[in-house]
Structure 1
Amino acid sequence: MILRKSDAYIPLRYKLLISYLLLVLTPVIVIGTYAYITSVNSSEEHTRSNLEIAVKQIGSNVDFRLADVIRGSEDIFADQSLSRILSGYYLDYEKYKIMTQYILPKIESAVNLPFLDAKLSIYLNNTNISEFYYDDRKPSEGEGRQYSIYHINRIENAIWYKSLKLNYETQEWIQIESDVTNGKISFVRPVINYETLLPIGLIKMNVNLKDIFYDVDFTKLGKDSLLFVVDGNNQLLYASSRVDSESNLLSGAKGGYVSQPNQYMQIKQKISNMDASIIAWVPTSSFQENSQKVRNLTILICMLSLLVLTLISWLMSRYFSKRFLKLIRSLTAFKEGDFHKRMVVPGKDEFSQIGQAFNDMASNMESLISEVYLSKLEKKEVELQVLHSQMNPHFLYNTFSSISRMAKLGEIEKMHEMIRELAKFYRLTLNKGEMIISLEKELQIIQSYVDIQRIKFGNRVVVTYEIDETLLELDTVKFILQPFVENVLEHAWYDDEIHLIIRIGVDGNDICLEVQDNGLGMKQESIEQVLDPSEKGIGYGIRNVDQRIKLQFGKGYGVSIESVVGEGTKVQIRFPKYRHSN
């Protein structure tokens, strides 16, 4: 037997092989993938967690030292007695006493920080207080902390001072004057007159950035990591030594904004006591080394499993497919009409039982196929004819009543036209007793019926046809549209005029006939009663059409109704594309 391309099929042994592979490889792949993803994620999360803890600890240390500076300024800011002294007016002999006995000891105590060397400068509006400062000398050994008193006119025109907008709550870390060049930063806040709560001066604590951020060291996170500090405007404030030595890693950072490169993971820790953040960049390659080892091992195990299981599956599928091939050859012969074909399967297992069952089936089928098949065809034909003969002939009685009324009124021409259309209608309907007709003839039947009704109702009936003419050569069960149009004209009148739309179209592989009106509409319970086979006396013609279609084409087809009260009803008749073979 030569197979055409359209007859090609996949042998059972290949299906068995594929099924075995899927059944065994699926859990292997799923478990391997899950183990790989879990281990990679766990490793990355663990590493990231450790790095976050380290960066957080660095941030805590920095915050502690910044708090030390803030506490030193607080000693001056919160001292109301000192505030009153700095606001007062004194004679020359009083100035020395106040300066030496109270002001300078207080300032020296404030600048004497336990962990940082700071330079404290106080700028006062009160020029009555004498200035006190060092003459541009470096402090002696053990004298790392300096303090000074200046008059505010030294800085009142400076841009940085004007931008401060001093008030009671002002506290800022800024780099001013030569701070950027010298690697320093200043903490500024006002000196307050507590009677008026207005600034009477400025406190400036100047410290080295390295003294504050010496914990910001890349070696604590790994040799390939970067660690630096940015201010609130995301500009570089301080960087670890590696960034200084490899400036290309933060290209342009010192003159602009810091932008994270793609090959680094970022960890950011906000500094509480300064508008700044510690940022750590850790190369993603450090995460990927372990991930690649796990991936390679997983792939190797999966490939070895694939080879071994493929061999086992091939041997098993080959063993079982031999017996199936015997059954296939017997069934093929049976399909081609050789009902004498029998199969012999040795052994005492399920295959031998299948062979025996096939042989018994073949014997029974050979004797019964003609009788059963023909009897079912005859029964189906009889049922179709009975259903068709039960179609409601009300429209015929109504038509004769209309003809009689026209005769009494002397409307001979209209009566003649109605009789002619009625004859045409029955000539199409009878159709030599055939139950299956073309869609074209079904359309002619409904057009003839509509013409009869137009004679009766005149312009009050408006019918629109939407027909896909390419479908008219296909076949359908006869007389399925007329009951729905008749139902509209008898029960759906809403006004003096009624509009119907009759459609013949296609939906996928199905033919869809539709009758839509703009009449009274139906409630959902009425629709359910009409389509319920057990109902009596309501919607008989519609149920009849539904039963005839289901009998001819199957239960998946038939009639469906959509309706909205006061807007109208749409009935759809659905059946497969069908061509009756004579």
Structure 2
Amino acid sequence: MAIGRPNDYVPIRYKLLLSYLVLVLTPVIVIGSYSYVSSVRSSEEHTRSNLEVAVSQMGSNVDYRLADVYRGSEAIFSDQALSRILSGYYLDYEKYTIMTQQILPKIESAVNLPNLDTKLSIYVENTNISEFYYFDRDPKAGEGRQYSIYHLDRIEGADWYKSLRLTYEKSVWKQVEGEAVAGRISLLRPIINYDTLTTIGLIRLSVKLEDIFYEVDDSKLGAGSLLFVMDKGKSLLYSSSGAETFVSPQPRVDGFDHPADYLQIVQPIEGMGASLVAWIPTSSFQESSRRVGILTILICLASLLVLAVISWMMSRFFAKRIMKLIRSLKAFKDGEFNKRMPVPGNDEFSQIAEAFNDMASNMERLIDEVYISKLEKKDVELQVLHSQMNPHFLYNTFSSISRMAKLGEIETMQEMIRELAKFYRLTLSKGETIITVEKELQIVRSYLDIQRIKYGDRIRVRYELDEAAFPHETMKFILQPFVENSIEHAWYDDEIHLVIRAYVEGSDIVLEVEDNGLGMKEETTRQVLDPSEKGIGYGIRNVDQRVKLQFGKAYGVSIRSSIGEGTVSTIRFPGGGAAELGA
């Protein structure tokens, strides 16, 4: 019976949700949220707007300084004549003239940048160009202007150079060779041979960080504010006065982690690929919101008190219905499968009651089905016990004994009688229906010994047995019908060869009988295992049904056969002992 949902069905979760909304969320949202959030947002938005303008102006000033440095490098980068000179080959007497009249004037022009302490280094692949170094110690110029020319092989082994991925029209800002300690940073650009569009050297224009970030001043943002410059890799590059003693910002996907009591503003520095990060304390504009917060807390506490009283009343109501369910489940556990629950109301409890009633009905039906299945299983076992005393086999054996007596083959007759007695002693086995695989194989050996007395060497048998399978228990008399079937129906030549196998495969036990007999068509193989067939293959089908009834449809008998190539019959069942086989 399906669990229906009436049109007026209201889930209990909606009832509880409605109670919480009425008792708690409504006063908190209406009074607390409007007053608290509005005041905080208004103050933060006003402050943020003013501060963003100030931080944006600082970023623009930094970009202006960066543009000055970039223009200085551009004088070298875009000079095609200088590029050709640096690529050329010169005799010794030409080198001085080339250096003093064509190279140094261009470098001096590039390094003369206003309000910037610059160091220009040119690295060239062409070792024919002489190295040069100049340092201006003019006190008015601070540390003084420096410019130099080096061969590129001086830095080719440096890690910072190996990590560069410079291409045409690309520049990189990077701190190299101790610049992080010295408070400097370099603009790195390639020198291009414009005839071949290949890189022939490197421009390194180094400047002081304090010259670039001269306008980055936290005093412009108010007391307690902090300013950081984070590089492209989100590492600390520069900090304002006092900021270096604070915790360095840690990067995250949408910016940088910052203390909860600080407002954060991030301004990109496009020319460097860096970020200007400002932290401003929120305490200065949050005082008014604290009073609203206290009022909100009081309202929440009052709401919680009311909610506790109502929850207690509701718990009593639902506890009564739950106890009814528990009592019904206990009765079900004690075997009262005819127990049913009343189905009042239109909520989840009524659905549980209806589901319980359906489950109880299904359980009664399944018990009946299992009982019938066990009756069928017992009936099959009775058929097996009857087949153990196969009159046809016994008649043929006695006929053979009679023939031997007439021919005077006394010793052979005695041997057959002994084997026949042994065979029935094993098959009867004190009425046991569960035996070990080893005993089942002994039954087959005894049966084949009788047949070999009768047919002599015309029956050839090979045993391929894994002793690991011997201790496992199985149903009795499941292998002999396949051996008998091979002798009675598959034998068509002077001799028949049989292979008896027993082995462990994973957690299963596999028994096989293989013959080189006549074989079967695919249709015949299907009919042998078809329960609806009443003719051929009764003994084999009986074994298949017994195994399936005992262990499930995953186990049983399978047959592979081809006309003229013989047949392989396989019996598969799970390994184990009596616990797996059942009572």
Normalising by the residue count of structure 1, what TM-score does the alignment of the two structures yield? 0.48
Normalising by the residue count of structure 2, what TM-score does the alignment of the two structures yield? 0.48
